[in-house]
Amino acid sequence: MTVLRKNLIDGEWLGEAGSRNINPSNTNDVVGEYASAGPEEAKQAIAAAKAAFPGWSRSGPLARHAVLKKTSDEIMARKDDIGRSLAREEGKTLAEGVGETIRAAQIFDFFAGETLRLSGEMVPSVRPGVGVEMTREGVGVVGIITPWNFPIAIPAWKIAPALAYGNTIVFKPAELVPESAWTIVDILHRAGLPKGVLNLVMGKGSVVGQAMLDSPDVNAISFTGSVGTGKRVAAASVEHMRKFQLEMGGKNPLVVLDDADLAVAVDCAVNGAYFSTGQRCTASSRLIVTAGIHDRFVDAMKERLDKLVIGDALDAKTQIGPVVDQTQLKQDEDYIAIGRQEGAELAFGGERLERETPGFYLRPALFTGATNAMRISREEIFGPVANVIRVKDYDEALTVANDTPFGLTSGICTTSLKHATHFKRNSEAGMVMVNLPTAGVDFHVPFGGRKGSSYGPREQGRYAVEFYTTVKTAYTFAG
């Protein structure tokens, strides 16, 4: 029998069964049943967070440290179970699910430490006898809206700093992955958070998410998801004069130069484009390859792709799990059809696969002969699909890499210090990788992009303090 997971509002687990989540590796497998909040519950959650803010914001470092450290320890102790459950509901492989869970534990540990390191500044005023203090305070009620592709890591990297810096939270996870969201909230709740500090409202984006956007009592919103929803968050937030932070899409380039180590380049491309089923905003979807290595690179890619094991996410041998759901699968297949119509050659894969259980299996697709003007090179597909764009030299590669409305990550495979250095300095992306996949980042350093990919201060690491606090400058005349 499936257990009903409820919403957490003002310290109480509330709600009736509203939705189910389905295992994308086996659509006969129902992972769980979840309460679905409406606008009323969203309002109650926001009111609870507002009421809890004065207490939590004055709670001091020790109380916050204790909750965050305990949460980190429990997540780490349960990494195999939580990772498995994550892989079951999202479709990434077991190794990826456990890896993501460990990352969540590391993030809570990092921000537990940050609670003890919060500092300010004190300077003499230009007026004699006056002192000036600059301190940081929590922003208030933070709305956290997350996508399905990193069901535990993204909630962790928003919730942990929000709590560390004294904010209270209304958390709305993506509809497809409520189990991971519920698990993290359950752990934090049992770790000793006072009631109302963290509220969970599972439900539809258009209902619960929208109620958060429309509330004057939500003081900041941290959002990760699509460009379209990001723009709604931005417009609604300007209306209420609230702080907001957006992480949206990517169309990340990986440049491969003639002088690259071919094995390194293929590793980077296969990992960056196809691991996690290509469902990462940092995925390499444009492989920009210079003429001298192009044919060898494409042959080596096809050989490697042919060996990849695509199957049930919970099978330890699987390297690429299924696509997350039917809607995303249709989007991937539609873009594969669009690429062919546009004149790119489907050099490998792109077809549906049958496995023992009914699931959304798709063979990774590689286009060659793509141009940077094609829709498959300009629009985010968010699936296991990548295009090879042939260019003549480094200069053309850099121009093509930067010719995109996005700017999240970029990468270059080269053995030339000159080109690697030039690329790091001139790539119009928030994160640049040399001889590494465009996806896969550390948890203790800033994450974020430029142009249409991101808006607002960076997430993660010490830079998270910018978004989750507001600065106060206080003047004292002591006589």
The one catalytic residue in 89, 100, 281, 333 is 281
Pick 148 or 274: Cβ nearer ligand ADP: 148
Q: Is 137 a residue of the active site? A: no
For residue 352, the tally of other CB atoms under 10 A from its CB is 12
Pick 137 or 217: Cβ nearer ligand ADP: 217
Q: Which of 8, 35, 82, 145 binds ligand ADP (CB under 6 A)?
A: 145
* Shortest spacing between CB 473 and ligand ADP, in angstroms: 34
Bridge partners of residue 454, in order along the sequence: 247
Residue 273 in contact with residue 384, Cβ under 8 Å? yes
Q: Which of 19, 27, 57, 226 binds ligand ADP (CB under 6 A)?
A: 226
Q: Which of 174, 181, 188, 255 binds ligand ADP (CB under 6 A)?
A: 174
The one catalytic residue in 89, 179, 247, 459 is 247
Q: Is 268 a residue of the active site? A: no
Compose the 186-205 pattern: x for residues touching ligand ADP by CB under 6 A, - for all others: -------------------x
Based on the shown chain and the rule CB under 6 A, indicate whether residue 32 belongs to the binding site for ligand ADP. no
Based on the shown chain and the rule CB under 6 A, indicate whether residue 146 belongs to the binding site for ligand ADP. yes
Based on the shown chain and the rule CB under 6 A, indicate whether residue 156 belongs to the binding site for ligand ADP. no
Based on the shown chain and the rule CB under 6 A, indicate whether residue 175 belongs to the binding site for ligand ADP. yes
Based on the shown chain and the rule CB under 6 A, indicate whether residue 322 belongs to the binding site for ligand ADP. no
Pick 375 or 472: Cβ nearer ligand ADP: 375
Based on the shown chain and the rule CB under 6 A, indicate whether residue 147 belongs to the binding site for ligand ADP. yes
Q: Which of 7, 85, 180, 229 binds ligand ADP (CB under 6 A)?
A: 229
Q: Which residue has the tokens 């093509």?
A: 400
Beta strands 220-224 and 243-247, pairing class: parallel
Based on the shown chain and the rule CB under 6 A, indicate whether residue 172 belongs to the binding site for ligand ADP. yes
Based on the shown chain and the rule CB under 6 A, indicate whether residue 88 belongs to the binding site for ligand ADP. no
* Shortest spacing between CB 229 and ligand ADP, in angstroms: 3
Pick 229 or 368: Cβ nearer ligand ADP: 229
Based on the shown chain and the rule CB under 6 A, indicate whether residue 464 belongs to the binding site for ligand ADP. no
Q: Which stretch binds ligand ADP (CB under 6 A): 226-234, 264-272, 368-376, 447-455?
A: 226-234
Interface with ligand ADP by CB under 6 A: which residues?
145-148, 172, 174-175, 205-206, 209-210, 213, 225-226, 229, 232
- Where in the sequence numbering do the catalytic residues fall? 247, 281
